[in-house]
Amino acid sequence: MKYMRTISMFLMGSFLLAACSSETPVIGGIKLQPDNSELVAQGKVIYIQDCASCHGANLEGQGDWRIRSPEGLLPAPPHDESGHTWHHPDQMLFDMTKYGVQKFAGPDYESDMPAYEDTLTDEEIVAVLSYIKSQWPENIQKRQDGLNRQYEAIETK
């Protein structure tokens, strides 16, 4: 519950991205658009350039991604349906990408995953995440959409 209050305060100050202006506004302003072919194409280019070296050209992630390395770090997880990316609502995926996983796991959490706050624009992050979501099977996209609805319902209470 403490997490929800913290993220709620953050989300109250969030804004609706220009990339999402034609979509129905959502809490936090982030809505992935896996059916927007232009945005998905842009996201694929960015993904290949900035993400594929760790997460794989086919979203497959690194081997043994659930087992920590000798340095204590987890390998890059897959972003396909076999991973856990789709287990998170759009806003959380955006925030983890922009600000790093420490935003959720705490400042002492060590990860090779960089924050892209100073590298990618908000629109580029949405494009990459929209590309990733566009690669999931329809049933997985629908399940993740359900998480978004649950998350929005909690945030509006």
Count of structural domains within the chain = 1
pLDDT in tens, 126-156: 999 999 999 999 999 999 999 999 988 777 7
pLDDT in tens, 33-67: 999 999 999 999 999 999 999 999 999 999 999 99
Report the C-alpha gap between 11 and 7 in whole angstroms: 6
Which pLDDT value is given to residue 157? 67
Q: Write down the pTM of the prediction.
A: 0.80
pLDDT exceeding 90 applies to what percent of the chain?
A: 70
Residue 135 lies in domain: 2-155
Distances (CA, A) of 60 to 38, 64, 110, 146, 147: 23, 11, 22, 24, 22
Q: What is the DSSP string of 77-93?
A: PP-STTSSGGGS-HHHH
- DSSP, collapsed to helix, strand or coil, labels residue 108 as coil
- Pull the structure tokens for residue 53: 């070296």
Where residue 27 sits, what CATH number does that domain have? 1.10.760.10
Burial of 47 (0-12, 13-18, 19+ CB in 10 A): buried
